[in-house]
Amino acid sequence: MQRILARLYAALLLGAMLSTFPAAHAATAAPIASTPADPLADSDGYDLWLRYRPLPVAGRAHLPAAVVTAGADSPTLQAARAELQRGLAGMTGKPVAIGGGARAGSVVLARGADLPSGLAETNAVRDALRPLGSEGYLVRRVHLNGMPVTLIAANADVGLLYGSFAWLRQLQLGTAADGVALASRPQLPLRVLNHWDNLDRTVERGYAGESIWNFWELPGVVDPRYTDYARANASLGINGTVLNNVNAKAEVLSADFIAKAAAVADVLRPYGMRVYLSVRWSTPLELKETKTADPLDPDVAAWWKRKADEIYKTIPDFGGFLVKANSEGQPGPQDYHRNHAEGANMLARALAPHHGIVMWRAFVYASPDEVKAAKAGGPVHDRAGQAYEQFQPLDGKFDDNVLVQVKNGAIDFQPREPAHPLFGAMPKTPLVMEFQITKEYLGYAMHLAYLGTLFEETLRFDTRAGNRDMTVAQVLEGAQAGKVGGIAGVANIGSSRNWTGSTFDQANWYAFGRLAWDQRLDARAIAREWAMQTFAPDARVVDPVADIMMRSREAVVDYMTPLGLHHLMGTGHHHGPAPWVNNLERADWNPAYYHRAGPDGIGFDRGAKGSDVIKQYAPEVARRFADPATTPSEFLLWFHHLPWTYKMPSGRTLWPELIAHYDRGVDEVAAMEASWQRLRPFVDARRFDDTARRLAQQHREAQWWRDACIAYFQHVSGLPLPADVRAPAQSLQYYESLRFPYAPGRG
């Protein structure tokens, strides 16, 4: 009933809007099928944040009816024009002319070298363009032959495309067309998605259907969806994509597959996106084309050189290789007693003549020798310290076209981790931040967890490298020694109609892209702009949606792994709680290895008396983390093993404090659910219902996490539940008995 009333209200509103619309306009108004004017018309989410819905009449004033380009045409300019046409037509409800001479109010696209004569502000525009580099853009209201026009200018075509998207975004946010003035450039030249997509179209850690890449049908059949993928990425400034899983197969470098990658590259090229491939270290050996995969063997180096030459013949702007080596069973140079730099440099030399790069991942475990030694009773290395141990000594030893790609934290994409110590420890190496957009450890696409706050928290982490302000963002930008890195996000995109499996997961793609462009953006501001474009620029929607998003990730931290706990998830699939697991092949795969809970207390001692990896941080940071009293409570059990009676700043002891966090997490989900219910009148039925069902399931799963973890920690600590605490709904044995053989995303 409420919905029917809401629809009626929306229809009346629309009627009122149309009746104030001048007759001439109404007559020419072309309905745009994909952008229904009724805010409650069902949306399947395909349009993402590029919905271009009709603006209220006042907002349409000064919106151009013509798009004009100066200078030579190009596929990128065509893409920019097409987007402007689509966006303006959607927002005005009127057709938009392309080409012809500029008229008052036109939007004019021009490279700096092709500024039209008759432009009053030529010198000012030239000056403003100078610092904007090859990807930046400028949007200004200027005068052309005495007429006011909107100029989108850039030094290169891709800047014009980015500028067009940025301008359309501002219009969607409700900024008056003649009030938009923008100048922006990215700090990081490398802003890429990493698809963990397999050749059979399964997706490792994918929760949004099959791979978007239909490798089987490529290159013969090229899905038009790839163009929309490119548009969405270009709208954020993402300029590259690694097509396949880091757990790569040798066949990826076969001629057949290269042709498939080339077909995708052809679609993405006009949108400023390059294609990269994940490669398997032992490819030439597995294809039986060399006798070894030793990086110092001349035949191996020659093979990679030939392979690079072959790729560039088909994909002239190929970006380069992403490599997972000596990690989780993947082969690598250590198999031949060579280090990561020796491996990476060999590949880099094959790519260098073509200006390609190697992104070499630092996600590694203890070396095979160390594992052997540990099995024989030697020391087990703390997993949190292993990347640093292997990579830090190699700082300065990588070739110029090698970037080391480091996960945001030292364990593995947990709901919360302190920033990886390598970010403060490799000044002479360009580093790439690797975030995981797909929510492997945060409830898949089922749980609403906005990652903008996680990304922001990591980028703002102050490494204190060199004993000065040095945030992770500054490190990536090369503030220490001029080594400029990049940013990568493990994609959450699949063949689902809505791309990401849930509406709110679209926001994580969006937030990644916006922060890749500008690491200083604010997570809340990003949430708000996403909500305005995705739902409506209406405070009644935007305020509560942004509020839900901003509290969502902390809720997940609380009901899964509060106070610095980590890696308590179910084995393999990582769905649900399993803190009791302690029987896996490697000690450092077991949740029990990480929480170390027992009668004496809980947490991982990473200080001098423990694994001592705290010393991998810069001295100032290490000092802060070394003392529980100065360790932020969100990292407490990450760095310290503390008695259950440890006194927390809240006045409670650790045991009731831990329980309070679990309870708070569940309560927060209940609150998010209730806020969402109040949005029913403002959101279309399809997206509303889908989100409501997911939140209800999230609520049940949060409860399960809370109950299972409390039951387990109570069992190992032997402590009674505090008086006012609700007992877990089921026995510990029940939680331990649950199995999920068909959980998605295992690739």
The two tokens of residue 197 are 């997509």
Q: Tell me the C-alpha distance between 539 and 184, whole Å.
A: 27
How many chain residues interact with ligand BDP (CB under 6 A)? 10
Q: Tell me the C-alpha distance between 286 and 280, whole Å.
A: 10
**Min CB(571)–ligand BDP separation in Å:** 11
* Single-letter residue type at 630: T
The verdict on 512 binding ligand BDP (CB under 6 A) reads no
The H-assigned helical ranges of 200-279 are: 225-236, 255-268
For residues 529-552, b (16+ Cβ closer than 10 Å) or e, as one string?
bbbbbbbbbeeebbebbbbbbbbb
Q: Measured from the CB atom, is 247 or 675 closer to ligand BDP? A: 247
The verdict on 205 binding ligand BDP (CB under 6 A) reads yes
The verdict on 281 binding ligand BDP (CB under 6 A) reads no
Q: Measured from the CB atom, is 270 or 486 closer to ligand BDP? A: 486
The H-assigned helical ranges of 288-356 are: 298-314, 340-351
From candidates 167, 257, 318, 363, binder to ligand BDP by CB under 6 A: 363
Q: What residues pair up with 197 in beta bridges, in sequence order?
A: 203
The verdict on 655 binding ligand BDP (CB under 6 A) reads no
The verdict on 204 binding ligand BDP (CB under 6 A) reads yes
Q: Measured from the CB atom, is 307 or 324 closer to ligand BDP? A: 324
The verdict on 195 binding ligand BDP (CB under 6 A) reads no
Q: Tell me the C-alpha distance between 635 and 561, whole Å.
A: 10
The two tokens of residue 495 are 């063949």
Footprint on residues 1-30 left by ligand BDP (CB under 6 A):
none
Give yes or no for a contact between 603 and 595, defined as CB atoms under 8 angstroms apart: yes
The two tokens of residue 209 are 């259907």
**Min CB(77)–ligand BDP separation in Å:** 38
Q: What residues pair up with 150 in beta bridges, in sequence order?
A: 107, 141
Footprint on residues 426-465 left by ligand BDP (CB under 6 A):
440
Strands (E), 373-443: 402-407, 431-436
Question: How many other C-beta atoms can be found within 10 angstroms of the C-beta atom of residue 316?
Answer: 11
Catalytic machinery residues: 328, 412, 440
Q: Measured from the CB atom, is 593 or 676 closer to ligand BDP? A: 593
Give yes or no for a contact between 559 and 702, defined as CB atoms under 8 angstroms apart: yes
Give yes or no for a contact between 564 and 638, defined as CB atoms under 8 angstroms apart: yes
CA angle 125/126/131 to nearest 5° reads 100
The two tokens of residue 58 are 């006042």
The verdict on 51 binding ligand BDP (CB under 6 A) reads no
The verdict on 202 binding ligand BDP (CB under 6 A) reads no
Give yes or no for a contact between 98 and 86, defined as CB atoms under 8 angstroms apart: no
The verdict on 280 binding ligand BDP (CB under 6 A) reads no
Q: Tell me the C-alpha distance between 344 and 62, whole Å.
A: 54
**Min CB(616)–ligand BDP separation in Å:** 20
Q: Measured from the CB atom, is 335 or 673 closer to ligand BDP? A: 335
Q: Measured from the CB atom, is 413 or 735 closer to ligand BDP? A: 413
From candidates 111, 185, 260, 324, binder to ligand BDP by CB under 6 A: 324
Give yes or no for a contact between 226 and 276, defined as CB atoms under 8 angstroms apart: no
**Min CB(249)–ligand BDP separation in Å:** 13
Q: Tell me the C-alpha distance between 679 and 504, whole Å.
A: 14
Nearest residue to ligand BDP on Cβ basis: 412
The verdict on 529 binding ligand BDP (CB under 6 A) reads no
Q: What residues pair up with 487 in beta bridges, in sequence order?
A: 191, 433
Q: Measured from the CB atom, is 297 or 412 closer to ligand BDP? A: 412
Q: Measured from the CB atom, is 274 or 573 closer to ligand BDP? A: 573
**Min CB(367)–ligand BDP separation in Å:** 16
The verdict on 567 binding ligand BDP (CB under 6 A) reads no
Question: How many other C-beta atoms can be found within 10 angstroms of the C-beta atom of residue 611?
Answer: 19
**Min CB(381)–ligand BDP separation in Å:** 18
Of the candidates 335, 332, 484, 466, which has an alpha carbon nearest to the alpha carbon of residue 404? 484
Q: Measured from the CB atom, is 102 or 406 closer to ligand BDP? A: 406
Of the candidates 406, 415, 416, 411, which has an alpha carbon nearest to the alpha carbon of residue 487? 406
The verdict on 184 binding ligand BDP (CB under 6 A) reads no
The verdict on 604 binding ligand BDP (CB under 6 A) reads no
The verdict on 365 binding ligand BDP (CB under 6 A) reads no
**Min CB(260)–ligand BDP separation in Å:** 22
Q: Measured from the CB atom, is 187 or 326 closer to ligand BDP? A: 326
Of the candidates 235, 98, 99, 230, which has an alpha carbon nearest to the alpha carbon of residue 172? 235
The verdict on 412 binding ligand BDP (CB under 6 A) reads yes
**Min CB(747)–ligand BDP separation in Å:** 7
The verdict on 704 binding ligand BDP (CB under 6 A) reads no
The verdict on 417 binding ligand BDP (CB under 6 A) reads no
The verdict on 553 binding ligand BDP (CB under 6 A) reads no
Kindly state the helix (H) or strand (E) to which residue 191 belongs, with its residue range: strand 190-194
The verdict on 247 binding ligand BDP (CB under 6 A) reads yes
The verdict on 554 binding ligand BDP (CB under 6 A) reads no
From candidates 151, 190, 243, 246, binder to ligand BDP by CB under 6 A: 246
Of the candidates 389, 366, 420, which has an alpha carbon nearest to the alpha carbon of residue 617? 420
Judged by the rule CB under 6 A, the positions of this chain that interact with ligand BDP are 204-205, 246-247, 324, 328, 363, 412-413, 440
